Amino acid sequence: MCGIIGFVGTTPAVPHLLSGLRKLEYRGYDSAGIAIASPTEPDIVIRKAVGKIANLDQAIASHPLEFEGPIGIGHTRWATHGIPSVQNAHPHLSQDGRFAVVHNGIIENFHDLRKQLRELGFEFRSETDTEVLAHLIQLHRADTLIDSVRAALRLVRGTFGIAVVSSCFPNQIVVARRGSPIVIGANETETIVASDVAPIIPYTNKVTFLDDGDIAVLTPGHFEIRSMENTSVSRSETAVDWDPGAAEKGGFEHFMLKEIFEQPEALENCFRGRLLEEDGTAKLSGLRLDPHDIASFDNLVITACGTSYYAGLHGSYAFEQLAGIPTRIEQAAEFRYRNPILSPNAGVIAISQSGETADTLAAVREAARKGATVLSICNIVGSTIAREAGRGIYLHAGPEIGVASTKAFLCQVAVLNMMALLFGRTRRLSNSEGVHIVHALKKLPDLIRSVLEQKDCIRKIAEKYAGCSNAFYIGRGYMYPAALEGALKLKEISYLHAEGYHAAELKHGPIALLDEKVPVVACAPLVPGHDKTIGNIQECRARKSPVIAIATEGDDSIAAFTEDIIRVPQCSELVAALPVVVAEQLLAYYIARFRGEPIDQPRNLAKSVTVE
């Protein structure tokens, strides 16, 4: 959610911090700020603003900094404790003004700590839990900054990723992690820390992820990681396989539109080297499973949140259809709290685009405690879920900056289909059946390109319905998760109320809401369940609801029920949902654009949900 950036080097920190904050905007935020320290100055200077980074730029321009230092930290805040305001924005200063802190996460015992600090004479300027940390560090000031921070964190319950600077201890930043990501990169003269890799890539493509319980000291061109018990810690370096330009718009109006159009290439990267046509199977070395391991699974549990949950629902159908393994999908927050029953031969597949989703990470840990084999599907190399699971597959979708997921969803479904193919070939699929599926998967990039060519048609339909207030999405079989994902995309970026339903569920209540003002998007390509979906479309029309049909090229039967048709190519049932979802993405994008909404940074949403 919130974003952290820190810079220590030999040049003024402000430009580096502002550039880094802009690269973190996609995470979602409502205020921003920076703190600058200098080896030659006794104070720390802070500038903060409510709203976008542009407002922070203006605050700095109208009130120039008293000095330019080579050390600084910055933050984009997404409000949890206290309303969005300058007082609640990060960084927060200690009472003596000598320590500044930025923080992602939640301090669960901050009420008790706040009371104790007040009794000691500390005054609070904000409503946040983070300000407690700044005062605790001052209270427990030691001979070094790392010892001061370590002493304060021993009193804290909850989750945190923090960065601290101090005028008492120049030329360094101290960072620590428990439950919220911290990533460090360094070149010869500069060290950069962030809550994501995006701000680090302009400086180096080699990054180090902190683990929970790590605390590190950053100096120009160098960093040292230690434990909370003050022992030296070694963490492996990870190479990031995308260049700085991948996180730029590249001529597109929005990141989301760029990422929609990047999906054919993202799928090609996802498949590269993994599909074995002659053997009719997939090579997924990261799973570290031999045929005996795969054959021993008696059931699978897929756990995820949001868009990843809908990808998992699609995957659950594929595993049962291709591999014959009973598979259920669990919302990750439910999995972690309801004490799920896992058999000794259960496999748990955790899906998270960021690899840092708090509820999914907790589900991974719960599954591991119960003895299940845990597999992960993530996009971010070196992320916490990927490292803790130890077995898994990276999407290789490239950076996804828009908050509403597009190419990550498609690649998640593609990876799940490859896993289902591998499991199926190990358990019951013939070579010829496997070869047929490999061919279907390999066609996907071109299938998506054909949908992208329909953008002008989809834009015209979007303009027609941009003024509506409610919408339904319906589908059957593999089209059911497609309907859920389509409704989510519309509500995320256009703020229209949209609901996805299994088409058969219409008659069980939702149909009462249909009238001429409620359009229905029907996912109705030529796959099993098509005829019944046509029946559901007729039910909608009988209630005067306009229907937008996403239908197969050449399916003339659909024209009898609606004039608003988005055409997708004929393809295998296993992959048919993906062209449909791309059509839904474009529909949602253009509706949001006609409504003038901030597509890449929708209100109240964050790219990576690292708190409950």
pLDDT of 559 over the 90 cut = no
**Is residue 197 over pLDDT 70?**
yes
Which letter does DSSP use for residue 303 in this model?
Answer: E
Q: What is the reported pLDDT for 246?
A: 63
First CA to last CA distance, the chain: 11
Chain centre distance of CA 33? 23
pLDDT value of position 40:
84
Measuring CA to CA, how many Å separate 130 from each of 139, 149, 543?
A: 15, 13, 53
Q: Please confirm, yes or no, whether 607 is among the known catalytic residues.
A: yes
Which residues are within 8 A (CB) of 307 and not within 5 positions of it... i.e. 6 or more apart? 353, 405, 408, 409, 485, 488
Say what the alpha-carbon torsion angle 247, 251, 256, 260 is, to the nearest 10 degrees.
-100
Mean pLDDT of the chain, nearest integer? 92
CB 228 within 8 A of CB 219: no
pLDDT confidence of 244, banded at 50, 70, 90? low
**pLDDT value, residue 242:** 65
- Around 18, how many Cα atoms within 13 Å sit in the side-chain half-sphere? 16
pLDDT-derived band at 362 (thresholds 50, 70, 90) equals very high
For residue 609, the model assigns a pLDDT of 59
Q: Identify the pLDDT of residue 453.
A: 96
The stretch 359-372 carries a mean pLDDT of 93
Interstrand relation of 237-239 and 191-194 (parallel, antiparallel or unpaired): unpaired
Residue 510: pLDDT over 90: no
Residue 505 has what pLDDT? 87
CA distances 443 to 274, 411, 420, 428, 440, Å, are 14, 14, 17, 24, 5
* Long-range contacts, 557-565 (Cβ 8 Å, 24+): 558/524, 558/534, 561/534, 561/537, 562/522, 562/537, 564/461, 564/464
Reading the block at residue 481, the tokens are 């998760």
DSSP H/E element including 334 = helix 332-337
**pLDDT(6) > 60:** yes
Give per-residue burial for 219-245: e unless 16+ CB within 10 Å, then b: ebeebebbebeeeebeeeebebebeee
Taking 3-state DSSP, the helix, strand and coil percentages for the chain, each rounded to the nearest 5, stand at: 40, 25, 40
Length of the chain equals 612
Tell me the mean pLDDT in the region 462-488: 96
516-550 pLDDT, tens per residue? Answer: 899 999 999 999 999 899 988 888 888 889 999 99
Is the distance from CB of 351 to CB of 311 less than 8 angstroms? yes
Task: Please give the pLDDT value at position 337.
Answer: 85
How far apart CA 332 and CA 116 sit, in angstroms, is: 36
Q: Say whether pLDDT at 26 is over 80.
A: no
Read off the pLDDT band of 170 (50, 70, 90): confident
Q: Which of 48, 52, 491, 607 is catalytic?
A: 607
Q: What kind and span of H or E run contains 105?
A: strand 99-107
Could you give the CA distance from residue 22 to residue 368 in angstroms, rounded to a whole number? 37
**CA–CA separation, 89 vs 78, rounded Å?**
9
* pLDDT tens digits along 56-92: 999 999 999 999 899 999 999 877 778 889 999 999 9
Reported as a pLDDT band with limits 50, 70 and 90, residue 29 is: confident
User: Between 246 and 120, whose confidence is greater?
Assistant: 120
What element of type H or E holds 460? Answer: helix 455-465
CA separation for the pair 421, 429 (Å, rounded): 8
Contacts of 182 (CB under 8 A, 6+ apart): 4, 161, 163, 175, 176, 193, 194, 195, 209, 210, 214, 216
Q: Give catalytic status of residue 2 as yes or no.
A: yes
Q: How far is CA 360 from CA 60, 214, 355, 586, in A?
A: 39, 21, 8, 28
Q: How far apart are CA 528 and CA 572, in angstroms?
A: 10
532 vs 229, 313, 474, 522, 569, CA distance in Å? Answer: 63, 21, 11, 12, 20
Rg (alpha carbons) of the chain, rounded to whole number: 25
pTM, 2 dp: 0.83
Q: How far apart are CA 190 and CA 209, in angstroms?
A: 17
Spatial CA neighbour of 377 closest among 287, 489, 295: 287
Would you say the C-alpha torsion 592, 598, 602, 607 has a positive or negative sign? Answer: positive
What was the pLDDT predicted at 446?
97
Q: Report residue 245's pLDDT band, with 50, 70 and 90 as the boundaries.
A: low
What is the SS3 string spanning 381-420?
CCCHHHHHHCCEEECCCCCCCCCCCCHHHHHHHHHHHHHH
Contact 52, 106 (CB under 8 A): no
State how far the Cα of 59 lies from the Cα of 337, in Å rounded to an integer: 44
Q: Which residue has the higher pLDDT, 239 or 58?
A: 58
Dihedral class, residue 179 (left if φ above 0, else alpha if ψ from -120 to 50, else beta): left
612 has a pLDDT exceeding 60 = no
The predicted structure's pLDDT at residue 32 = 94
pLDDT value for 604: 65
pLDDT band at 468; cut points 50, 70, 90: very high
* Lowest-confidence segment of 117-121, 423-427, 536-540 by average pLDDT: 536-540
More confident residue, 483 or 238: 483
Overall average pLDDT of the 237-263 stretch: 82
According to the model, what pLDDT value does residue 557 have? Answer: 85
The stretch 12-30 carries a mean pLDDT of 88
The Cα–Cα gap between 375 and 336 comes to 16
Summarize the confidence of residues 32-59 as an average pLDDT.
92
Hey, which of 3-17, 29-43, 80-94, 591-605 has the most confident mean pLDDT? 3-17
pLDDT of residue 25: 81
- Extract the tokens encoding 434: 């496997």
pLDDT at 399: 84
The whole-number pLDDT of residue 382 equals 81
pLDDT surpasses 60 at 606: no
Tokens of 43: 């104070």
Distance CA 488, CA 496 (A): 10
Q: Rounded mean pLDDT of 357-371?
A: 92
Dihedral of CA 506/511/516/517: which sign?
Answer: negative
pLDDT band at residue 556 using 50, 70 and 90 as cut-offs: confident
Does the pLDDT at position 607 exceed 60? no
Tokens coding 461:
């339909």
Confidence of residue 30 (pLDDT cuts 50, 70, 90): confident
Q: Annotated catalytic residue: which of 2, 270, 378, 411?
A: 2
Mean pLDDT of 427-441: 96
Nearest to 577 by CA among 521, 506, 527: 527
